[in-house]
Amino acid sequence: MEIYWVLGIPLTGGLFLALWGSRRNAPEINALFSFLTLIAAAVLTARIIDQGPMVVGGEGWFFIDSFNVFLVTLTAFVSLTTALFSRPYMRIEKEHGRLNDKRLRLYHSSYQVFIGMMVLALTTNNMGILWVSMEGATLATVLLVSLYRTPASLEAAWKYFILCGVGIAQALFGTILLYFAAEKVLGSGGTALLWTHLNGVKEQLEPTVLQLAFVFLLVGYGTKVGLAPLHNWLPDAHAEGPTPVSAVLSGLLLNVALYAVMRSKVLVDGALGNDMAGNLMMGFGLLSVVVAAFLIKRQTDVKRMFAYSSIEHMGLITFAFGMGGPVASFAGLLHMTMHSLTKSAIFFAVGHATQKAGTQVMDGIRGLIKTNPTIGWGLMLGTVAILGVPPFGVFASEFLIITTAMHEHPWATPFLLLALGVAFAAIFGKVQPMVFGETELPRLPHMPALAPVFVHLGLVLMLGLFIPPYLAMWYRQAAALLGG
């Protein structure tokens, strides 16, 4: 039953905010809906931990296991903190005259629909509906990216729509091929695309068709993950959209897209009985890590830089999942969590920093530690965390991924280490003067609301030092589901 709550709350929220979204307390309502979603997700999680995987609804429309319930919780959590962050942030944007009530209504409504679509993508059992909801999530965010209506933001939104649209069309073709293979074994009709049914008969699915299907699915959903060379939309959309949107795109949407790839991979692995899917993912992942690391160096816009950092980390996670095996999958899941929490925290801090400086160009932001220590520390700690400095959790997951790579695919290690090194030097070198550089500006009077940043970073720190046993067990279960 909880599943309907998890799905229903954000979608109701979207409708409600579309109708009454221009009220003054719309941001609070937005946060409230996100909070309710989180509660429902927590109850759902408790139930899954207690009772194991379950299939609910009609012919089995929804399927929840350790893997996706963990992502549902993460999504609900980050959506709540982002909603809390966006409350003061969007108010200031409105005071600056960049937004008005009508656009804020659009923002709040689309935000909830977007969360709802992601939860639907995560929990649906039907590979076709998975596609539909992924596309729905894209559509919900297109207008958010162009929220400021500046030429650059429109360009970014157009690019986002067209590139992701083309990409996702490939995924639809992959889904058609999957159905084509499934129909032979399961017969035609709605149930042939249900993941649980497919998973049961995956050994009988036609290998050649699934091979082709996986290529299309990987290219399609991979576009949304931001894997190189299909990543072009990502930096633009992140840099030009409002900061809360950047945070949820980076922290959540990329995960959900990767989730879609993983669900397909499990089926393909079963049908093929070889490492074709894993190898492809490793290749794309490694390429993304390297390409992104070297592109980070040339960035001047702070949000673009962190967008490339997202590509790098998604590449790393894809690589980890591509390697397969319990340890690598565990590390991939852990890194997914860490990246979501850390990257959204960074975007929160960056959002306030750019808002105060009035520019996203890094040369224009200097001496945050003097003008506003909270933002300065938030940004610095977030950067240190995402770069994988111990004792933050990112260190643990990266360490696990690299040691596994050394052990199983030694050839890849130099590339990974080199890329991580380049990214480290580039990001640190650029953020350091932003935080500690000289500035003439006076100390800002009011305090920003940065509680979400420190909550996220606190969690990342805690997970770096100590993973609670039930959480570790949960990760292990999910890792086992991914073919551990």
Partner 1 sequence: MSLTYHLQVINLLAALLLLISFAMLSQRRIVGLITLFAWQGAALSTSTALVAWSTNQHHLYYSAGLTLALKVIAMPWFFYRLVKKLDVDHDVEPMINIPTTMLIGIVLVIFAFNLALPISQMSGTVMRSTLGIAMACVLLAFLMMITRSKAIPQVIGFMAMENGLFFAATSATYGMPLVVEMGVALDVMVALFVLGIMSFQIRESFDSMDLKHMEKLKEL
DSSP 87-113: HHHHHHHHHTTS--HHHHHHHHHHHHH
DSSP one-letter code for 362: G
Nearer to partner 1, 142 or 459 (CB): 142
Query: Of these, 13, 116, 136, 382, which contacts partner 1 (CB under 8 A)?
Result: 136
Near partner 1 by CB under 8 A: residue from 19, 46, 166, 447: 166
CA distance 228 to 198: 29
Among 39, 154, 276, 418, binds partner 1 (CB under 8 A): 154
With contacts defined by CB under 8 A, name the span among 33-41, 94-102, 190-198, 402-410 that binds partner 1: 190-198
Q: Which of 108, 159, 202, 238 binds partner 1 (CB under 8 A)?
A: 159
Return the amino acid letter for 5: W
Q: Which is nearer to partner 1, 160 or 347 (CB)?
A: 160
Binding residues for partner 1, rule CB under 8 A, total 51
Question: Which residue in the set 107, 111, 131, 348 belongs to the binding site for partner 1 (CB under 8 A)?
Answer: 131
- Which residues in 228-257 contact partner 1 (CB under 8 A)? 235-236, 239-240
Report the residue number, 26 or 181, with the smaller CB distance to partner 1: 181
Instruction: Restricting to residues 282-311, name those near partner 1 by CB under 8 A.
Output: 295, 298
Contacts with partner 1 in 191-210 (CB under 8 A)? 192-193, 206, 208-209
Integer CA distances (angstroms), 114 to 7, 34, 93, in order:
11, 12, 21
Q: Give the H or E element holding residue 8.
A: helix 2-20
Under rule CB under 8 A, residue 55 binds partner 1: no
> Tokens representing 456?
């996220």
Helix residue spans in 358-450 (DSSP H): 368-371, 373-386, 393-408, 412-436
Q: How far is the CB of 236 from partner 1 (least distance, A)?
A: 5
List the alpha helices (DSSP H) in 124-232. 127-145, 151-186, 195-200, 207-225
Q: How far is the CB of 388 from partner 1 (least distance, A)?
A: 25
| Shortest reach from residue 17's CB to partner 1, in Å | 17
For residue 452, say if its preceding peptide bond is cis, omega within 30 degrees of 0. Answer: no
H or E element at residue 63: strand 62-64
What are the tokens at 161? 């729509």
Tokens of 107: 């923002």
97 lies in the site for partner 1, by CB under 8 A: no
Over the window 9 to 28, marking each residue x when it contacts partner 1 by CB under 8 A and - when it does not, the resulting string is --------------------
Residue 312, interface with partner 1 (CB under 8 A)? no
Q: How far apart are the C-alpha atoms of 227 and 234, rounded to whole Å?
A: 9
**What is the identity of the amino acid at 7?**
L
CB of 68 to partner 1, least distance (A): 19
d(CA 381, CA 22): 36
Give the number of C-alpha atoms closer than 13 A to the C-alpha of residue 346, restricted to the C-beta side: 29
d(CA 178, CA 273): 16
Which residue number, 126 or 355, has a Cβ lying nearer to partner 1? 126
Question: Binding to partner 1 by residue 362, rule CB under 8 A?
Answer: no
Question: Closest CB to partner 1 among 131 and 319?
Answer: 131
Compute the distance between CA of residue 157 and CA of residue 236 in angstroms, rounded to an integer.
8
166 versus 451: smaller Cβ distance to partner 1: 166
**Is residue 102 a contact point for partner 1 (CB under 8 A)?**
no
Looking at beta carbons only, is 240 or 398 nearer to partner 1? 240
- For 293, phi then psi, to 5°, come to -60, -40
Structure tokens at 86: 């966006």
Q: For residues 215 and 368, which CB has a smaller minimum distance to partner 1 in the complex? A: 215
Q: Does 172 bind partner 1 (CB under 8 A)?
A: yes
Nearest to 317 by CA among 288, 346, 279: 288
Report d(CA 146, CA 418) in Å as an integer: 36
Joined together, the tokens standing for residue 272 give 């093929």
Nearest residue (CB) to partner 1, 143 versus 472: 143
Q: Which is nearer to partner 1, 158 or 436 (CB)?
A: 158
One residue of 23, 28, 96, 152 binding partner 1 per CB under 8 A: 152
Residue closer to partner 1 by CB (options 68, 175) is: 175
CA distance 257 to 284: 14
Amino acid at 304: R
Q: Which residue in 40, 78, 156, 256 binds partner 1 (CB under 8 A)?
A: 156
- The correct pick among 175, 243, 344, 354 for binding partner 1 (CB under 8 A) is 175
The only residue of 4, 23, 100, 188 in contact with partner 1, by rule CB under 8 A = 188
Q: Is residue 215 a contact residue for partner 1 (CB under 8 A)?
A: no
Helix H or strand E segment including 279: helix 276-296
* Site of interaction with partner 1 (CB under 8 A): 126, 128-129, 131-133, 135-136, 139, 142-143, 146, 149-152, 154-159, 161-162, 165-166, 169, 172-173, 175-177, 179-180, 183-184, 188-190, 192-193, 206, 208-209, 212, 235-236, 239-240, 295, 298
